[in-house]
Amino acid sequence: MGIVYSIIIPHKNIPNLLQRCLDSIPERNDLEVIVVDDNSDPNIVDFEHFPGLGRKNTSVYLDKSGKGAGRARNIGLEHACGKWLLFADADDFFNYCIRDILDEYKDDDADIIFFSTSSVDCETYNNDGRTQYVWDFISTFIDNPQKGENILRYVLGSPWAKMLKRSIVTENGITFQESTINNDARFSCQTGFYAKEIKADKRALYCVTRRGGSIQYSLTEEKILESVDILAARYIFLKKHDVVLPFSIVWGGREYIERLVDVKCTGNEPLYAKCMQIVTAYGVSEIETETIVKEELKKRKRIRRDDWPSRIRDRVALRTRLRKLFGK
């Protein structure tokens, strides 16, 4: 039997968690695992006993460029040969239902199949509920495909918890951006666009974990500008192809608004001006953008004024959700 499924896992400096992820993947004749190490520290990782070495149908590639998860995933794509692609982060894992799912969907005609997720603390395994939105989006699509289709195609931006046909990627030359932030925004947007048929399954194929030592973005000026550029380009792609999203869902696809509002709140006007230059260079209306930013600033003021403790927690949850949606 040939390879039907290729699972690609980028890794950096968390070998024990990578091993946990590998342990959650069944060893099957029709499945290959591709691990790409992103220049891990040899003081942390024992490369002679690297997780996956000697494992059935598992390949390990060591990338010394240090260009991040986007490049690591692209290397994985170069070596993948399965009909279906799946992605995982090394600190997450697959739930037991993966076995049934792999059996059921190997010959499916869909181009992308979306699954629900669970989310737990990395050490205690206590549920934290932070991926409830995935269940909500999938439920919306199943109940009302016309209402929920574009949300699945264009809002669920992370590559995990999906099965997608490799042919979509190869035939359309789709790759991950080798950026320090939002490296999967373009990939998920374009695969969602080129997929002819999508399906959804409420089963939680994948478990997202939260850990204290996980990489968090220190939003330097360089990363903010890079993020605004990537997300503005993504919005223009959607607009060019007449993709319409509800304004209530990440401002109708304008995820860059989050960055602009954050910068505006800091009072860094020179940086805000640079961000606006990037946005307007893509042909986005400056007046429209300023109007949305002002409305978001008003909302934040109301948050501080009315029941601010719980509102701030909601805000943090929203920002965490958006960052998880559009790249770790």
110 is written with which tokens?
């869909």
Contacts of 53 (CB under 8 A, 6+ apart): 60
pLDDT tens digits along 201-258: 999 999 999 886 554 446 789 999 999 999 999 999 999 999 988 887 888 899 999 9
Share of the chain above pLDDT 90, in %: 80
| pLDDT tens readout for residues 77-116 | 999 999 999 999 999 999 999 999 999 999 999 999 999 9
Q: Does position 26 have pLDDT exceeding 60, yes or no? A: yes
Residue 68 contacts residue 183 (beta carbons within 8 Å): yes
pLDDT of res. 307: 57
- Computed over every residue of the chain, the mean pLDDT equals 91
Distance CA 249, CA 240 (A): 19
Distance CA 98, CA 206 (A): 8
By residue count, the chain amounts to 328
Mind listing the domains of the chain with CATH numbers? 5-210 (3.90.550.10), 221-325 (no CATH)
Determine the pLDDT at residue 279. 97
pLDDT in tens, 267-325: 999 999 999 999 999 999 999 999 999 999 998 888 776 655 555 565 666 666 555 55
* Mean pLDDT of all residues in 153-167: 95
**Per-residue pLDDT tens for 312-323?**
565 666 666 555
Phi, psi of 153 (to 5 degrees): -65, -40
Q: Tell me, what's the pLDDT at 248?
A: 79
In 3D, which of 280, 276, 297, 296 has the Cα closest to residue 225? 276
Q: Report the C-alpha gap between 58 and 60 in whole angstroms.
A: 7
The answer to whether 94 and 206 are in contact (CB under 8 A) is yes
Show the CA angle centred on residue 270, arms to residues 269 and 273, nearest 5°.
Answer: 85
Instruction: Choose among 16, 23, 6, 73: nearest CA to 45.
Output: 16
263: pLDDT confidence band, cut at 50, 70 and 90?
very high
Strand-by-strand arrangement of the 58-63 sheet: 58-63, 31-38, 5-11, 84-87, 162-165, 112-121, 198-210, 93-94
> What pLDDT score was predicted for residue 211?
80
For the question of whether the overall pTM of this predicted structure is more than 0.75, the answer is yes
